[in-house]
Structure 1
């Protein structure tokens, strides 16, 4: 009996030990995959984009998943979702890339814009192109959606985003499309109508835009733009609204780390203030060949448009084939952490990097954080959301198929639930604009709290797109982790209208609703113009439109316009029209007053009138000559240089051989010329095919054009592209020379030059060529009929 008791005792101890281990393991699961939240985690789909919205204003985030057919899941508020199967936004046969939500008509209900890829065949290839769709939320009682408009022509659209570019309180729309179709921008007129603007500088590039981010990079209260291009150079544009008053003027920012030549496949940019210094830093997800992707990139914003590339931290020291990156403070300790989704041909791991608060990141392991760093079947995108309103951020990951492709086997999407983040304190903020757009897109929030005995400022932004990389819209709210703080001392909201609103002593562990309210007597002068620049003219007529903001019930009572900033009032109307009659640069001042206060705004160097200038245009981008037989004597191709301006200009034209080794094989004429106003110059490019080696690669020389006085660019390059084919023919009536003498070249070896002498006794067709040691033709010296003699 004693032995049996001892065995039983040992069994009880072992069982107790196993129970403790299991209990400890369960407690350590910071994140677990939720498989019981309803159809949102059980439907097998080929998903492409995810966007979150509170469609019925019940306080819970609902999910819209773009992909095959598009799906909408309503959050029931009990930890589960139900799929909505009626309505035009979920019954389309298209494959869509992203749906983006915002209250475009400011009626209190979020509406939907869908960026469509196409209707595809079984292989995932587009067969029918479609326009994009705008759906209006009809509000109570059932929050149904109505198709309002087909936006844009039929094309392959990649991305879309809401932004109030002109700060009028109405949200505008940017659409990115493949490089076969131009990008498009539509201005919201505020009356339900959208008007296309084709003149914005960021619409001129024809690259393959993968994603865009509207973000106030320099903290000057207007939104700048960053575009990620697949396999090309990314683009950065600074808004000049505050500097010039031209709300549609942007300047391309070049020669920065953010605009370096793209790697194999740049996917998406995710912006966040990870170092809590008050400006927005950027993580760039890089996708490459499976298993050999280049490292992702992390850029720290140092202010004044200076960025430092961080290269020694775990998120960017190992090359993955990344699908997306998304920021959130998952442990609520007061600094933003980063999740990166990786794509492989099979199962793909997730990567979670904890921000240590000192500029360093720590790669988390499954034993530390649980299933969030587990295996995912074909991640396509994802982002963070507090779907259960418990104060910590959960993660949602999309899957396109297994293997990872549009034709892969559909997979369920993953909801990764945060079980421990709310052990520290937090604050969630919902913003509602009144003078700004109702969705508060573009609002920047800064919160100050005492965390671990130190005052910490954190910065967030309400974004229509741009915090989670590719095809992902985060909730239209802000989440702050507060650690052990007991109160938020100060919450400052920089509204898109330009008004700054401050709240103090905001309670922790709460969902705080902030509504934009202007103080009594508030007034801010502002205006726009219909034009700002006259090129090749001595005058310009400008329509000025007042956009001053004032407290309701206290209208602007007095306007003073000074159109040349000389201190003399030129107009007192709200919306004057004025003609500038001399070539110059003008600064414009507006002073506006209500019953309480006066305020003024000066737009420096707003109006520019150039006078008469040359305007040089070239009528081709590339001279594509195709395949040319080597026996062709000469190929002449003509292009034109036009002067569309009012002054004459001199131009020079030259050839850069590039991979053409024989300078006499190419010619251009004329090489210099004067072009009168309104005139053109015909330039002939001549190619002598029989001087070049046939059946090699394409030749790509450059034609370089320089202007002396053009307004704008003064140098251009045009590529010529051709390939020489065939075999050099031999004249059958000219027999081979029976007697010839090819003498030793001198001096020998060739350096830096040499002479070659030969003699023939009879008239013959002579070909004299030089080959390298590998048998490749270097140059044809002679290829013509010669008389008897020594040469």
Structure 2
């Protein structure tokens, strides 16, 4: 076992550790018997029945339909075939869901590449969708890689960022500001859309804790990644400043995606960057939006996506890393965070689990409790060297007795999907009061999304405090009377 103590006092372990295998690969479900150069993994309650449905994009050339699966509520899925969102034979990459028109159901934007027109669908209910093909952003096209909704100006309407890679020449990214639920203005004079690079993934987060959404863009090749600070709170109006100093704005390591998470439970969002052919990197946030680079993961894999989630419900965030695009199939990585056990952000690489041993090429991924048993399961979008490979569903069969809480947020003054809302939970774990923080996002890492928030509570017998910071600026304290359940919180007006 190799250990490294960082200047910040964090201890990061690079080791292959054996542990009880929490995951079981599920092979008898329709979701794991489909494949088609799959990219995006979106867990979202599309039909409003209280459980998480699944949307998966496919990027085949010359094109293939995307996949949608209805969760029947008993851990079983039904494939949707008669909906517009699975009938456009396009070469799709990323997708982002959000209640764009604030009518109570989630809508979706799909980013297409090879200069195909992007797809914008409004949810009409009962799995029926209306495509908006004219005007911004529905009429946009290019070599789009991925996209993400966020309320950049905190006006209650979701805005959209599209990452474009270009073909032989880099292409500018696109930023669309909403004027209402279906009308948008393309913003040309923002730093967000000024740079041309081979951008792969946009990731919003309130990095400096001032109540507005900042932006990290992962760039492939030798272009430095981009970091933009939102000046809404400082200026009283929407404006972005491109940050050009600091590690996350200077590093150029063939990056595919970034993933925000509070890995050390200190109340701010840290950043994991997945790189293609270069070591992946963790950047620790000092709470003011300044970052210190940590070479926390010594693997030099060909990484695309990553997913943070508390797989053992012990009160800290563990990490899955998806690898692909190589001459042969690659194993993925699973790192267990030992913060709850050691008091420091310590990562232990897990070997022997089916999640790790499942080869091929992996792209998007996302944790979600699809069977509503309180632990996080995992779906991975796959493809292997020009051959269809079935996507992978892994059920978490957690053997411990740790407690948990799932939180769903509904905006009223804020956007209905509550994208951008930050939820903090305090509970006494192992005799100590522990704060955890999560944020609802339009995209996690490379082509992943889950609008539910999951908190592992370890041996805590109750939640002492739950605080929601809404995009509207409202701070709401909610009493939680019971744990080991899912709760829905509506924003106070």
Q: TM-score, normalised to structure 1's length? A: 0.57
User: Per-residue CA shift, 1:250-304, capped at 9, x if unaligned?
Assistant: 11112211012311x211001100100000001111112xxxxx21101111122
Q: CA–CA distance in 1 between the matches of 2:49 and 2:375?
A: 19
3-state DSSP of counterpart to 1:411: coil
**Is the CA contact (8 Å cut-off) linking 1:324 and 1:470 kept in structure 2?**
yes
Q: Residue 422 of structure 2 aligns with which residue?
A: 444
Q: Residue 388 of structure 1 aligns with which residue?
A: 371
**Is the CA contact (8 Å cut-off) linking 1:87 and 1:146 kept in structure 2?**
no
Between Structure 1 and Structure 2, how many residues are aligned? 458
Q: CA–CA distance in 2 between the matches of 1:161 and 1:154?
A: 16
3-state DSSP of counterpart to 1:448: strand
- 1:284 counterpart = 2:273: yes
Q: Residue 390 of structure 2 aligns with which residue?
A: 412
Q: Residue 34 of structure 2 aligns with which residue?
A: 43
- Counterpart selection for 2:21 from 17, 29, 35: 29
Evaluate the alpha carbon distance shift between residue 422 and residue 477 of structure 1 in structure 2; reply closer, same or farther with a 3 A threshold: farther
Structure 2: 5+ residue stretches without partners: 1-18, 59-63
Q: CA deviation at 1:194?
A: 1.5
Evaluate the alpha carbon distance shift between residue 341 and residue 154 of structure 1 in structure 2; reply closer, same or farther with a 3 A threshold: closer
Q: Residue 337 of structure 1 aligns with which residue?
A: 318
Q: CA–CA distance in 2 between the matches of 1:234 and 1:326?
A: 20
- Counterpart selection for 1:430 from 396, 408, 419: 408
**Is the CA contact (8 Å cut-off) linking 1:345 and 1:378 kept in structure 2?**
no
**Is the CA contact (8 Å cut-off) linking 1:71 and 1:84 kept in structure 2?**
yes
**Is the CA contact (8 Å cut-off) linking 2:256 and 2:274 kept in structure 1?**
yes
- 1:507 counterpart = 2:482: yes
**Is the CA contact (8 Å cut-off) linking 1:391 and 1:422 kept in structure 2?**
no
- 1:173 counterpart = 2:165: no
User: Per-residue CA shift, 1:551-604, capped at 9, x if unaligned?
Assistant: xxxxxxxxxxxxxxxxxxxxxxxxxxxxxxxxxxxxxxxxxxxxxxxxxxxxxx
- 1:356 counterpart = 2:338: yes
Q: Residue 495 of structure 1 aligns with which residue?
A: 470
3-state DSSP of counterpart to 1:440: coil
User: Per-residue CA shift, 1:713-771, capped at 9, x if unaligned?
Assistant: xxxxxxxxxxxxxxxxxxxxxxxxxxxxxxxxxxxxxxxxxxxxxxxxxxxxxxxxxxx
**Is the CA contact (8 Å cut-off) linking 1:425 and 1:509 kept in structure 2?**
yes
Q: CA deviation at 1:346?
A: 2.5
3-state DSSP of counterpart to 1:165: coil
Evaluate the alpha carbon distance shift between residue 482 and residue 165 of structure 1 in structure 2; reply closer, same or farther with a 3 A threshold: same
- 1:63 counterpart = 2:63: no
Q: Residue 4 of structure 2 aligns with which residue?
A: none
**Is the CA contact (8 Å cut-off) linking 2:84 and 2:128 kept in structure 1?**
no
**Is the CA contact (8 Å cut-off) linking 1:393 and 1:421 kept in structure 2?**
no
**Is the CA contact (8 Å cut-off) linking 2:267 and 2:287 kept in structure 1?**
no
3-state DSSP of counterpart to 1:415: strand
- 1:79 counterpart = 2:79: no
Evaluate the alpha carbon distance shift between residue 261 and residue 28 of structure 1 in structure 2; reply closer, same or farther with a 3 A threshold: closer
User: Per-residue CA shift, 1:1-30, capped at 9, x if unaligned?
Assistant: xxxxxxxxxxxxxxxxxxxxxxxxxx9432
4+ residue runs of structure 1 moved beyond 3 angstroms?
none
Moved more, 93-102 or 446-455: 93-102
Evaluate the alpha carbon distance shift between residue 191 and residue 375 of structure 1 in structure 2; reply closer, same or farther with a 3 A threshold: closer
Q: Summarize the alignment of residues 581-660 of structure 1 with structure 2, pairs less than 5 Å apart.
A: none
Q: CA–CA distance in 2 between the matches of 1:156 and 1:95?
A: 10
Q: Residue 274 of structure 1 aligns with which residue?
A: 263
User: Per-residue CA shift, 1:134-170, capped at 9, x if unaligned?
Assistant: 111112xx23111123424432211111011111101
Q: CA–CA distance in 1 between the matches of 2:159 and 2:333?
A: 35
3-state DSSP of counterpart to 1:138: strand
Q: CA–CA distance in 1 between the matches of 2:208 and 2:365?
A: 27
Q: Residue 437 of structure 2 aligns with which residue?
A: 459
**Is the CA contact (8 Å cut-off) linking 1:391 and 1:421 kept in structure 2?**
no
Q: Residue 12 of structure 2 aligns with which residue?
A: none
Q: CA–CA distance in 1 between the matches of 2:400 and 2:368?
A: 14
Q: Residue 103 of structure 1 aligns with which residue?
A: 99
Q: CA deviation at 1:421?
A: 6.0
Evaluate the alpha carbon distance shift between residue 200 and residue 506 of structure 1 in structure 2; reply closer, same or farther with a 3 A threshold: farther
**Is the CA contact (8 Å cut-off) linking 1:51 and 1:98 kept in structure 2?**
no
- Counterpart selection for 1:483 from 458, 461, 465: 458
Q: CA–CA distance in 2 between the matches of 1:103 and 1:63?
A: 16
Q: CA deviation at 1:224?
A: 0.6
Q: Residue 321 of structure 1 aligns with which residue?
A: 302
Evaluate the alpha carbon distance shift between residue 97 and residue 421 of structure 1 in structure 2; reply closer, same or farther with a 3 A threshold: farther
3-state DSSP of counterpart to 1:131: coil
Evaluate the alpha carbon distance shift between residue 457 and residue 191 of structure 1 in structure 2; reply closer, same or farther with a 3 A threshold: closer
Q: CA–CA distance in 1 between the matches of 2:109 and 2:57?
A: 11
**Is the CA contact (8 Å cut-off) linking 2:43 and 2:366 kept in structure 1?**
no
Q: CA–CA distance in 1 between the matches of 2:181 and 2:380?
A: 37
**Is the CA contact (8 Å cut-off) linking 2:57 and 2:95 kept in structure 1?**
yes
User: Per-residue CA shift, 1:88-124, capped at 9, x if unaligned?
Assistant: 2111121101221111000001111111113xxxxxx
Q: CA–CA distance in 2 between the matches of 1:333 and 1:306?
A: 28
**Is the CA contact (8 Å cut-off) linking 2:112 and 2:144 kept in structure 1?**
yes
Q: CA deviation at 1:422?
A: 6.4
User: Per-residue CA shift, 1:303-361, capped at 9, x if unaligned?
Assistant: 223211122x4xx1231121222100000000000111222432321211111101211
Q: Residue 111 of structure 2 aligns with which residue?
A: 115
Q: Residue 131 of structure 1 aligns with which residue?
A: 117
Q: CA–CA distance in 1 between the matches of 2:33 and 2:191?
A: 44
Q: CA–CA distance in 2 between the matches of 1:317 and 1:456?
A: 29
Q: CA–CA distance in 2 between the matches of 1:493 and 1:243?
A: 22
3-state DSSP of counterpart to 2:32: helix
Q: Which has the larger radius of gyration?
A: 1
**Is the CA contact (8 Å cut-off) linking 1:390 and 1:422 kept in structure 2?**
no
